Structure 1
Amino acid sequence: MRPTTVRARATAGAVVVVAAALGLASFALLGLLEANLLRNAERDAERQALTIARLAASGGLDRMRAPLPGADFVQVVNARGRVLRATPNLAGSPALGPARPMRPGTAFHTWKVRPLGGEHRLRVVQVTTDTPQGLVTVYVGTSLRDVDAADDTTTAALAVGGPLLLATVALVTWRVTGRALRPVEAIRAEVAEITDRDLHRRVPVPPTSDEVARLAQTMNTTLDRLESSGHRQRQFIADASHELRSPLTVLRTQLEVALAVRDPELWPELIGGALEDTERLQQLASDLLLLARIDAAQPVTAVRLDLGAVVRAAVESRRGDRVPVRTDLEAGVTVEGSELWLTRVVTNLLDNAQRFADHRVELVLRGSGSGGGPQAGTVVLEVRDDGPGIPPDDRERIFERFTRLDDARSRDHGGAGLGLAIARDLTTHHGGTLTAEPSPGGARLLVRLPAASSSPSPSSSS
């Protein structure tokens, strides 16, 4: 029996809240109305009781007239319980008071009695006063027909109007909630029809500035990211398949030739070529695995590192480079990150520079300090070479996966087009950036990383 939709829950909630508020308001209204009418009736009866009490105190009870409007009966009783005077509707009736007053003075007492031959309740006001003949009590009763009639009318109006009001609230809430949720249903229906082949579709954005419109915009932004991710994944798979096909084809050809050739003197050359292609396949598989780990957003095991020591160790492990690497490393530059991945960034940048440098490869590391400038708290790692350089239009494209420029970035240099892409992804994973900057001669790649601490120290060169 519980409502299962947002529309039904909102309607039920509104009806329950309004019903509770209406019930409390009805009780308060009936109570206030009855209290006000009772106060008016008692005031009229009290006025007459005081007037007759004054007549009794002065010995003028014979001048008592019929009750004025607002009083239904009057009875005057002495201390012994004898009725001295009464209105015709109480003729022959015993004294109303259950007990006789014991001391002189004036007292006011109000209580309810059963109807005296009528259909409505009565309110009786008692006034006791001292007279020359002793204590005398005056009873003045007034009918509560107006109070009962007002209560009945108000109760009937609330009994009829309450359900009508609740029905109106339910209808209005149902319609308003349905209108508000209509765009949400349109968004849900559109998303339900989107598959992995329809990521180009977008949900409708309502022409409003409310939460539903922002939900639709967020959903479309998410679909943009999913489409971009899907396109990137498909492109990655296609490029990886293409890159793997070439070395596998060459490897198979070399192995087939090795089987066909019976001359043992040619086997070392054929096996050596097959080994080179196997190493290339192994390196490509390793790069693809690393890219998959980066795309999976596996967290970096961040430790405090001396980046100068990491760079120096990476350079010293490259003793057989074609072009010697000149370094200028500032001491005391620390970052937080993975030593293995930061070493891979340096290695990939140096591999790229070694492929295309003519006679010079330079590596510079410096900290920007904490002077409050726009680059404060940033570590800068710069790799420069004197090769053919990077055209301005290609300075961003070189960081795309499996991208090789036609002239300077060809397969002849041994690259698969993943080195710079991996270096940028690893740098981004550490909260930094990798960009290609203008250079008068050759290529200039800049890595910027957040510094763990900035304590300038004199630079050391090697």
Structure 2
Amino acid sequence: MSTPTPSLRRRATVAVLGLFALLLVVVGVVIDIALGAQLRTELDTRLADRAERAEAFTEAGFPASALPDLLGGQDIRVRVTTPDGRTYGDPGVVPAAPDAPAAAATLTAEPAPPGPPRGPGGGPPPEPPAVSSTSRTVVLSDDTRVLLVADTTQIEGVRTQLRAIMLVAGLATLGLAGVALLTVVARALRPLDELTALAGRTTAGDRGQRLRPDRAGTDLGRAGAAFDGMLDALESAEARAQGAATDARRAEAQTRRFLSDAAHELRTPLAGMQAVAEQMLNRSPGPDDPNHRRVTLLMRETARTSRLVTDMLELARIDSGLPLRPADADLAAIVDAETERLRTLAPGLTVTRTGARGPVPVHVDAGRIAQVLANLGDNARRHTPPGGEITLDLTGHAVTVTDTGPGVPPGERERIFERLVRLDDARDRESGGAGLGLAIARGLARAHGGDLTLVPGPTGASFRLTLPA
């Protein structure tokens, strides 16, 4: 399960800045709408005032031709149309089309009178600027129509300028708010940084420090208290584990010492028992004597017990740090000697020597390496059926001993190196082995810096001894 781990700093900063930007946009839109409505209301008020003044001037007897001059000015254009069709005032103002929608109260400029257009230099006149306007038509008591047109371009310019100011001010405000937010968020998340730093120091081995939050009810306080509780539990577990490991090492050392002392002490009485059994066997009248068979059995069991005691003593020495006597030796000569030994002990088997023949220099305890190969050879000899084959191969600094016996099941290839392990299906018990030979052989190999492994093969068992160059 993967836990999402977004950046709290970035998430908090982006969220707050986003909300702040949205608030600025809302405020700006409200201000723009309110200002536009206010300006248009003031403009409508001015148009209504001019309409009332037009009615007052007419009632006072002012002629229609004087109304444009009396009512015009301040961005208001006037056009007066009398009932008989005469017009006075600004000729460039025309009313909107009769079928125009009610909302389209803006008027358009009327084309100039016919004539050759001339600009300041005699050329074509410049394009008139785009003008927006709003109008009001007043019908006076004598049916005179007064068209009042107010230019709204200035209003739109004010609103455009205000929008630009608000945009620049909003961006500057967002920038300052971002810097302030980074500082505030960094200060707010400082306890989290302290928790992370404490976790790093704890990983490095410093278990004594704690956060000790002053307010355990907050989010960070609860996280800090939980982290301190975890460290307390971890420290207690480590103390218990160290105590258990110390007790286990002490018990293991006592067991090794006991095994070593017991094996050492048992060797003397066993040697005495074997010597007495040999004397009794020599004094026996012959093989048909019942005592002869008993003494023979006693000698065999005594020899088996002696081997077990010797193996136990050897394992105890390996566990406690086997003292080696390394010297320059020829690994090929050690393999050749083991090959000849097997040929002598197993005349009914085919013993083959393959691989390198020339000198293979190694710096080892030659006696111990010979002991490992003898252990592997005896193991192969005991479990190879009559007529079978044993092969000793030397490649580089690795010796492989292969037999044609029943082999080892795949699930047991590491278990056979454990102590007191014998595989009933693959290895018989007629030899009387205690299941310590392979454990001793691997211990001796690793004491030299090498290893002993079981190599998978099509048939039989194949053990490989690897030594450092």
Q: Give the greater-gyration-radius structure (CA).
A: 2
Pick the TM interval, shorter chain. Answer: 0.3 to 0.5
- Structure with greater strand percent: 1
Taking CA–CA contacts closer than 8 Å with sequence separation of 6 or more, which of the two structures ends up with the larger relative contact order? 1
TM-score normalised per structure 2: 0.44
TM-score normalised per structure 1: 0.45
